[in-house]
């Protein structure tokens, strides 16, 4: 470690700012709760009336503040305020961390939100008694903070920001790819664009002759209205069956017969696509027989069955999960598996559920107030769907697979892992920036 780099403590270099928000000055506000930030970003900027907000809407923000949730700090609910946030009011469940000056706010942000730091905060949270794993500023006040020369801090911030920008670009590409897949699904199976085109004597746009030949050129009146001739209206339960999950394991190995597996939770299904697989899903030690019962395959769709944010979020299980994570993948008891029989139907069901979630139709099948829960029996028994021919499903699978193969890319995960691996070595002085730049 470089002798010029002092190691201080968080409580000596920053404060948890508790500035009361002035509702008289800003009657219309942007309220930010703990679920409204993720991995450095604010997820909305919706303006609402200050009156009637939850009681925890109390804290004011300033530019260069660091937001870090007190509840389950390992879940990525943090953000950096890089804009004028005068009309932003945030929940008291956030720490609003303000640098005292010796450490630049952006440098401090990178130190606190590195995966190693978040893992330590989560460990502290889980060691404390309470309803939820929770930390306070006092409980992490002794966390070590390096105090480097300001010029060195600026160089490191520039390097980390560049990595973050590259990760963000990849994640935005993922969002675009998913939008393309969803637009194609809607065109084929909701709006029936190819059938309308053929009915009008036109060639379907953007479609080769062989694929166009798979679609009928007329409609038939069925219970859902006009449906392409030869296609069927069935319940979702006629297409897939549900299996409830279960962990069957522990966080640590206590038996020689146990094997490791990644256990996907509902929150992981919510974040996987948007984060480009940079999700720290937990490893569970499970019995081999139990693992095989809960192992996911490309003929299945996972759907989050609980939680205000992820509930109803689908994820096709054929995304080479095991190569992405390097070990078997199972699903937790916060996730249910929809067995579809083959990959073509699974991809169709994945996009169908995504369409229902985008239109909020899925909430017709979710009950519970404090903790929403998916009523899968109601969903499968009553949701009517239009099923095309097997040939059309196979054609959609072929196109969708090409999109998914790029969507489920390891690039963002690789860069995120690189960033989190390099940061502790850089701030300790074990690795200098020119070396790190060559690695990246």
Name which residue leads in pLDDT, 270 or 101. Answer: 101
pLDDT at 307: 74
pLDDT at 338: 94
High-pLDDT (> 90) share of the chain, %:
49
Do 109 and 34 fall within a single domain?
yes
Do 362 and 240 fall within a single domain?
yes
Q: What is the mean pLDDT of residues 83-102?
A: 95
Name which residue leads in pLDDT, 233 or 289. Answer: 233
Report pLDDT digits (tens) over 272-308. Answer: 655 444 455 667 788 888 888 888 888 999 898 887 6
Do 155 and 251 fall within a single domain?
no
Asked if 202 and 440 count as a contact pair (C-beta separation under 8 A), the reply is no
Measured over the CA atoms of residue 265, residue 266, residue 271 and residue 277, the dihedral's sign is positive
Q: How confident is the model at residue 429 (pLDDT cuts 50, 70, 90)?
A: low
Q: What angle do CA 431, 432, 434 make, to 5 degrees?
A: 125
Q: What is the mean pLDDT of residues 263-275?
A: 64
**pTM summary value:** 0.70
> What does the mean pLDDT of the chain come to?
85
- Cβ neighbours, 10 Å, residue 42: 18
Give me the torsion for CA of 74, 79, 80, 83, rounded to 10°. Answer: 180
Please give the Cα distance from 142 to 137 (Å, whole number). 9
User: Which tokens in the block code for residue 296?
Assistant: 């996911």
Residue 252, domain member (yes or no)? yes
Per the structure, the count of domains in the chain is: 3
Name which residue leads in pLDDT, 42 or 333. Answer: 42
Long-range CB pairs of 48-51 (<8 Å, 24+ gap) are: 50/23, 50/26, 50/89, 51/23, 51/27
Residue 401, domain member (yes or no)? no
Q: How confident is the model at residue 412 (pLDDT cuts 50, 70, 90)?
A: low
pLDDT at 6: 86
pLDDT at 3: 46
If you write DSSP's letter for every residue of 100-163 in order, what string do you get?
-SSS-HHHHHHHHHSHHHHHHHHHHHHHS-SSS-B--TGGGTT-EEEE--HHHHHHHHHHHHHH
Do 435 and 350 fall within a single domain?
no
Q: How confident is the model at residue 409 (pLDDT cuts 50, 70, 90)?
A: low
Residue 69, domain member (yes or no)? yes
pLDDT at 250: 65
Do 134 and 54 fall within a single domain?
yes
pLDDT at 263: 76
37-46, 332-341, 423-432: the lowest-pLDDT one: 423-432
Residue 175, SS3? helix
pLDDT at 431: 52
pLDDT at 261: 78
Residue 403, domain member (yes or no)? no
Do 136 and 60 fall within a single domain?
yes
Do 11 and 62 fall within a single domain?
yes
Residue 328, domain member (yes or no)? yes
Do 439 and 304 fall within a single domain?
no
Residue 315, domain member (yes or no)? yes
Name which residue leads in pLDDT, 28 or 276. Answer: 28
pLDDT at 103: 96
Do 420 and 280 fall within a single domain?
no
User: Counting beta carbons within 10 angstroms of the beta carbon of residue 135, is it exposed (0 to 12), middle (13 to 18) or buried (19 or more)?
Assistant: buried
Q: What is the mean pLDDT of residues 23-51?
A: 91
Report pLDDT digits (tens) over 374-385. Answer: 999 999 999 999
> Among residues 146, 164, 193, which one ends one of the domains?
146
pLDDT at 369: 64
Do 120 and 167 fall within a single domain?
no
Helices (H) and strands (E) in the chain, counts: 14, 26
Please give the Cα distance from 357 to 303 (Å, whole number). 11
Phi-psi region of 340 (alpha: psi -120 to 50; beta: other; left: phi over 0): alpha
Query: Chain-centre distance of CA 100, in angstroms?
Result: 33
Residue 284, SS3? strand
49-63, 232-246, 325-339: the lowest-pLDDT one: 325-339
Please give the Cα distance from 10 to 282 (Å, whole number). 28
Residue 1 scores a pLDDT above 50: no
Phi-psi region of 383 (alpha: psi -120 to 50; beta: other; left: phi over 0): beta
The structure tokens 């053929």 sit at 198
> What does DSSP say about strands 14-16 and 94-99: parallel, antiparallel, or unpaired?
antiparallel
Please give the Cα distance from 358 to 262 (Å, whole number). 28
Q: How confident is the model at residue 69 (pLDDT cuts 50, 70, 90)?
A: very high
24-33, 208-217, 303-312: the lowest-pLDDT one: 303-312
Residue 278, domain member (yes or no)? yes
209-213, 243-247, 293-297: the lowest-pLDDT one: 243-247
CATH value at residue 126: 3.90.220.20
Do 142 and 154 fall within a single domain?
no
Please give the helix or strand (H or E) that residue 7 lies within, else none: strand 6-9
Report pLDDT digits (tens) over 111-142. Answer: 999 888 998 999 999 888 777 788 999 999 99
Please give the Cα distance from 262 to 288 (Å, whole number). 13
Q: What is the mean pLDDT of residues 182-188?
A: 94
Please give the Cα distance from 120 to 139 (Å, whole number). 11
Do 13 and 118 fall within a single domain?
yes
Range(s) of the domain holding residue 434: 149-173+410-440
Residue 397, domain member (yes or no)? no
Q: What is the mean pLDDT of residues 160-186?
A: 84
Please give the Cα distance from 226 to 220 (Å, whole number). 5
Phi-psi region of 326 (alpha: psi -120 to 50; beta: other; left: phi over 0): left
User: Which tokens in the block code for residue 19?
Assistant: 């500035």
Q: Where are the beta strands (DSSP E) in 202-276?
A: 219-222, 225-228, 232-235, 241-244, 249-250, 259-264
Farthest-apart Cα atoms in the chain, separation:
80
| First CA to last CA distance, the chain | 22
Please give the Cα distance from 432 to 67 (Å, whole number). 28
């Amino acid at each position: 470690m470089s002798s010029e780099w002092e190691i201080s403590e968080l409580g000596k270099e920053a404060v948890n700012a508790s500035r009361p928000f002035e509702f008289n000055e800003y009657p219309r506000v942007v309220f930010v709760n703990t679920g409204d930030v993720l991995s450095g970003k604010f997820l909305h900027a919706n303006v609402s009336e200050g009156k009637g907000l939850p009681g925890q809407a109390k804290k004011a923000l300033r530019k260069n503040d660091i937001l870090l949730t007190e509840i389950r700090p390992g879940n990525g609910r943090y953000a950096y305020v890089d804009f004028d946030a005068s009309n932003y009011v945030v929940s008291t469940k956030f720490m609003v961390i303000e640098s005292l000056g010796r450490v630049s706010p952006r440098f401090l942000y990178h130190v606190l939100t590195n995966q190693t730091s978040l893992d330590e905060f989560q460990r502290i949270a889980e060691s404390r008694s309470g309803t939820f794993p929770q930390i306070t500023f006092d409980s992490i006040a002794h966390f070590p903070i390096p105090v480097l020369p300001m010029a060195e801090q600026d160089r490191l911030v520039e390097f980390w920001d560049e990595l973050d920008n590259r990760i963000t670009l990849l994640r935005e590409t993922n969002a675009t790819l998913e939008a393309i897949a969803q637009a194609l699904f809607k065109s084929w199976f909701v709006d029936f664009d190819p059938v309308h085109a053929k009915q009008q004597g036109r060639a379907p746009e953007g479609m080769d002759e062989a694929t166009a030949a798979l679609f009928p050129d007329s409609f038939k009146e069925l219970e859902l209205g006009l449906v392409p001739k030869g296609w069927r209206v069935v319940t979702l339960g006629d297409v897939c069956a549900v299996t409830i999950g279960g962990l069957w394991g522990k966080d640590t190995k206590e038996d020689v017969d146990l094997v490791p597996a990644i256990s996907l939770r509902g929150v992981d299904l919510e974040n996987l696509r948007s984060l480009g697989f940079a999700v720290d899903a937990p490893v569970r030690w499970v019995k081999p027989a139990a693992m095989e019962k809960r192992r996911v395959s490309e003929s299945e769709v996972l759907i989050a069955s609980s939680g205000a944010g992820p509930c109803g979020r689908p994820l096709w299980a054929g995304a080479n999960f095991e190569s992405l994570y390097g070990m078997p993948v199972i699903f937790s008891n916060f996730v249910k598996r929809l067995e579809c029989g083959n990959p073509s139907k699974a991809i169709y069901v994945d996009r169908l559920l995504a369409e229902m979630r985008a239109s909020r139709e899925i909430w017709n099948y979710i009950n519970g107030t404090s903790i929403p829960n998916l009523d899968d029996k109601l969903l499968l028994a009553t949701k009517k769907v239009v099923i095309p021919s097997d040939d059309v499903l196979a054609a959609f699978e072929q196109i969708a697979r090409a999109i998914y193969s790029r969507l489920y890319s390891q690039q963002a995960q690789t860069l995120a892992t690189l960033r989190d691996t390099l940061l502790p070595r850089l701030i300790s002085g074990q690795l200098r920036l020119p070396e790190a730049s060559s690695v990246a």
